[in-house]
Amino acid sequence: MEAIFLRGLRSPSEQLAGLGIIAIASLLFTAFNIWLHAGSWPIQWLNHGCLTLSFWSLWRFESMRKLRVEFILFLSLFLFEILWSLTLFQEPILALILVILWISDAILVSLLFWKKNKLSATFLALPLAWIFYLVSANMIYCIKL
């Protein structure tokens, strides 16, 4: 366990505290999202767990001053997810636009994370695959209207 926290810009206790803070924020967001869409909770837990590990693994090697752009784009992933969730069944065309913006943001975040830390970007593979699935499902839903 201690070997996980050895390398990095921060001390092991700071890394553990940071992981806890990021995980709690992710859990709260996941609970809200599951409340909106009760049927997809297992994949939500996996996605947000991967997002948590992704940002944490990047944060422990870089200062927040250097991660300003990455952090804003990372938070916008959650914003797009909330907006998409709220508009899916009321305004499917708007939801399609939002999910396309969401996937664009996710690709950009992955590229920025890859540039700084390859492990951090690797954790984004599952959320990227899930968003690609949502794009196709949203397109099919719009076609059927």
The 10s digit of each residue's pLDDT in 92-116 is 889 899 999 999 999 999 999 999 9
- What is the rounded CA–CA span in Å between residue 19 and residue 17? 5
Residues 6 or more apart whose CB falls under 8 angstroms from that of 129 comprise none
Structurally, the chain folds into a number of domains equal to 1
- What is the rounded CA–CA span in Å between residue 121 and residue 105? 13
Amino acid 5: pLDDT: 55
Amino acid 104: pLDDT: 96
Q: The domain containing residue 83 runs over which residues?
A: 2-144
Can you give the pTM of this predicted structure? 0.83
Amino acid 36: pLDDT: 67
Comparing C-alpha atoms, which of 107, 97, 50, 51 is closest to residue 78?
A: 51
pLDDT of 122 strictly over 80 = yes
- What is the rounded CA–CA span in Å between residue 77 and residue 55? 12
Amino acid 15: pLDDT: 79
pLDDT tens digits for range 34-79:
776 666 677 888 888 899 999 988 888 888 888 999 999 999 998 9
Asked if 112 contacts 69 with a C-beta cutoff of 8 angstroms, the reply is: yes
Torsional class of 63: left (φ above 0), alpha (ψ -120 to 50), beta (otherwise):
beta
Amino acid 4: pLDDT: 56
- What is the rounded CA–CA span in Å between residue 143 and residue 122? 33
Amino acid 63: pLDDT: 84
